Structure 1
Amino acid sequence: MDAQNHSAVTRFFLEGLTDEPSFQLPLFILFFLIYSASVVGNLGMILLIVLNNHLHTPMYYFIRNLSFIDLCHSTAITPKMLVSFVSGKNAISYNECMAQLYFFLIFAIAECHMLAVMAYDRYVAIRSPLLYNVLMNYQVCSKLMAGVYFLAIVGSTIHVGFMQKLLFCKADLINHYFCDLLPLLSLSCSNTYVNELLVLYLSAFNILIPTLTILTSYIFIIISILHIRSTEGRFKAFTTCSSHVAAVTLTFGSAIVVYLQPSSVHSLAQGKVSSIFYTTVLPMLNPLIYSLRNKDVKTALKRSFRKIGFSWKKKMIK
């Protein structure tokens, strides 16, 4: 990425969340706690699934990948923001900005398609429980994950590739706390028509297609649940899906506000507030969403704590 060939501006300045000095320390503490909880929660979920054999199922394979995506998603944004709170320097080089944008887009797009894959997985589990392990075998799950990352990398590469073709002349203050598509496009002195079309069409593909997939899956899931005669069976099926519905609603709701509004009504300030949710808060919430109402995860946690307690007692005795 050679900034000199594409841009007169070699570095940008991030406006951040606020320029009030009195808010910098409280915001640093708040987002440090959120990021710490996100790292602990997602790494904990990954390790819990890896170390417990009874969680080696397609459902938890996808949850493990979602935790990895959330961990990388927040890591692409939050550490730089925390440094800015402490140092007061919000400068970011052109190459760093493009790199941040590239990795942010990869994991943002991957999360959208990951949630669609998880909806399909729940559909197969409830619609064909006896054939579930056959229909969702390791090869199928691997191909679905490869498709998720392929679409994410292609989408991100297209966006960043066209972004690098733009010229940034004098304006270098990004009205955001990280390098995002729309704030960067607003600074360019080139014609951004093609880039704006890409934002619209690729956002529609990466948000609406997964949304339609999820809605279709859940229509069939609800029909299947209503055919379950046992009240206990219906409750278990609804409980299994409720956590996924919560994650989907939070993710796509905030993404639609930022990327699928008409440019005439879109506000960068509003987009900044909405993006806080899906870049920092949601990666922290997902491990809680998928663990608090999940008996298998609770059982695995109890077993892990017992093993830790047992090994600690053995060391104390020795």
Structure 2
Amino acid sequence: MSLVKVGVIGASGFVGAELTRILLTHPNVQLTGLSSLHHIGQSISTVFPAFVGSFDQVFLNNETVIEKADVLFLCLPHGKSEALVKQCIDQGKKVIDIGADFRLKNLDAYQEWYDVSVEYPELRNEAVYGLPELNREQIKESQLVANPGCYPTSILLGLYPAIANQLVDPSNLIIDSKSGVTGAGKTLSEVTHFALKNEGFNAYKIASHRHTPEIEEIIQLISGEQIQCSFVPHLLPVNRGILSTLYADINPDVTPEDIYTAYETFYEQEPFVTVLEKGKLPDISHVSHSNQCHIGLTVDTRTNRLIIVSVIDNMQKGAAGQAVQNFNLMIGLDETKGLAMVAPSF
């Protein structure tokens, strides 16, 4: 296959920089343009010195990046992608939106939770939710893919086999997730200030985090039931990683063997999801800087509860890596192309 012309809009943020780093080594990508709101005319190596000596492309405006590329990645805050995606779609471009604008089919929920208005509601009908392990075939045929949120990726991969196989009751889910500070983006704030976050660990946005409706919408599609879950996110004093601990009541007559078999069967052919052996639990350091998801299972027979621990790198499988996985599927490549990273050993 010839090289695919690719542009990245919003390349000066954490996700944009991570995505650029991956695309630079992708064998089928020609990186034709990067855009930034605040750094037009500057090189990416000026903003991120890690690129010095390797890549010095200058940030352009959005219109130029769209014009030069056949496939666009959008790494923008919620509410900022919609008009640009419309422009891309009208020009026949393929789009992977890493922001939140197209993740929810329920427009009322999106507008309520994100406090934005929707200008092109018809685009939501075209968008495919970009979790490859669930929607691989639809992604292959799509022009617009909505990259999932980082928390939902870890949570949904952890829960899917249990809910899809009716092994647990989805009406009483408790979701406890911890994220590194890069999940908050590059914009400075007291919440992620080193002096305040180092040596600290806190919960935040309890019962009000914007990923809640995304999690619930997909679980409802999987289960066929209207559900609500308790979702509590936390902020870890680390750069990268998400660890989600998921609690679900086991349905009657379901055995531990049924649960392990369901997970091992569903994920045995998945290149980026590993179900750990019985008795082993995952660690965020084991997936750092990789597109991997590790899942550990514990059946608490005393409480008849399944406890799932799911870990990902929020910058990779939670954002840029998964976006490249979707890109590969959209253009007919092996979905592992450019994503053969292994976590550092120490």
Above 0.5 in TM-score?
Answer: no
TM-score between the two structures when normalised by the length of structure 2? 0.28
Query: Comparing both structures, which one devotes a greater share of its residues to strand?
Result: 2
